[in-house]
Structure 1
């Protein structure tokens, strides 16, 4: 059976949301971060050689990486419902935002977070990249209803975490990003998103504003 191993307050919430959007029958196992360093507990680290979230198991398969997991689940169990094909007008846009989410957007944010934790100023090139990434996301949502285009795709599953829960680590303000704010309100109204957050983060108010 497909099992989603969810580490609280982590990227693995994406996978729960994906499963809910696809209406899948899956098992959810929740892991609590360590109280001494806020890292994943030993039993989570033991799931995959990288020791980080997300991770799924499906029979004998153990798979990590958000993008790989999204593609695997959508193609194997969702009939590629959330992945526009090459004949779709949304194909290229979906691909860009699906990969941009972790390859660029999250990478920039992580560099800024590390700089802040080290107590020094954020390097100018990092601040510049962060600002450009947010501006690009704001512009995209001014021209399309979803990052994936005309309908929700796995690009939105990937980008959603970056704009919501991940801000708990840096608390980026959404002031000045009206399109992103409106988008997150639309996402928050989706029954699948509501079910996902209630299941994987019980007691936590989703960070949508």
Structure 2
């Protein structure tokens, strides 16, 4: 039996979606973030030394990291429905986007989140003014530029493709869902219409909705 060690408001929500798409039996072991630090509880370290979510146990096998979990589940349980055939362009795209999500897209997004919190929480006024200048310089000089370039790249890909790898939903789409949900929830200006449409498309899937109902509150990153 697969057990998903599920942390509220975390990347493990996309693993719930994956499991529902596969239609396999699974159980949920729930964990709550600390109300003050927002960190995962120490109890998760009993499952994996880093104490982070998502992590699954499948019998004697323990798998951590979203991309590794998605690839593991796709290979073992999807009868290749969620993983393209090897040595095809679709498979190369699958591999690329599976790594792009956390390796390229998430770092500048996390940096933006961190610096936004610095701006909000810095006090008194003089400290806040200095903190804002530092945050603006770092974002404008590096992370901000990379984030915009990455989002434009994704936007263009979705202008030409319904899914990230080939003509059907794959594990790459499930992996990409987390950063794109985070972005779309803050895309008030509508600057990325193809990303917005994509997020609406995956949210409309019955398996996604079922995973959402089983996972509980999810604030879209």
TM-score clears 0.5 = yes
Judge conservation of contact 2:84–2:166 (CA < 8 Å) in 1.
Answer: no
1:37-84 Cα offsets, whole Å, 9 max, x none, are 111112123321111111111112222111111111111122232111
Judge conservation of contact 2:6–2:12 (CA < 8 Å) in 1.
Answer: yes
> What count of residue pairs does the alignment treat as equivalent?
204
Q: Return the offset for 1:87.
A: 4.4
Judge conservation of contact 1:98–1:158 (CA < 8 Å) in 2.
Answer: yes
Is 1:139 the counterpart of 2:156? The answer is: yes
How far apart in 2 are the matches of 1:118 and 1:132?
23
Which residues of 2 match residues 49-88 of structure 1 at below 5 A? 49-88=49-88
Q: Secondary structure at the match of 1:163?
A: helix
Judge conservation of contact 1:174–1:180 (CA < 8 Å) in 2.
Answer: no
Among 199, 205, 212, the alignment partner of 1:190 is: 205
Q: Secondary structure at the match of 1:90?
A: helix
Aligned partner of 1:125 in structure 2 is: 142
Among 201, 204, 208, the alignment partner of 2:216 is: 201
Aligned partner of 1:37 in structure 2 is: 37
How far apart in 1 are the matches of 2:189 and 2:179?
12
Is 1:161 the counterpart of 2:197? The answer is: no
How far apart in 2 are the matches of 1:11 and 1:167?
14
Q: Secondary structure at the match of 1:56?
A: strand
1:139-161 Cα offsets, whole Å, 9 max, x none, are 11100001123111111101101
How far apart in 1 are the matches of 2:157 and 2:216?
28
How far apart in 1 are the matches of 2:5 and 2:189?
30
More displaced 10-residue stretch of structure 1: 90-99 or 65-74: 90-99
CA 1:33 to 1:135, structure 2 compared with 1: closer, same or farther past 3 Å? same
Among 193, 196, 201, the alignment partner of 1:181 is: 196
Extract unaligned runs of 5+ from structure 2.
120-130
> In proportion to residue count, which structure has more helix?
2
Aligned partner of 2:166 in structure 1 is: 149
Judge conservation of contact 1:4–1:27 (CA < 8 Å) in 2.
Answer: yes
Aligned partner of 2:104 in structure 1 is: 104
CA 1:16 to 1:37, structure 2 compared with 1: closer, same or farther past 3 Å? same
How far apart in 2 are the matches of 1:33 and 1:150?
37
* Structure ID, larger Rg: 2
Extract unaligned runs of 5+ from structure 1.
none
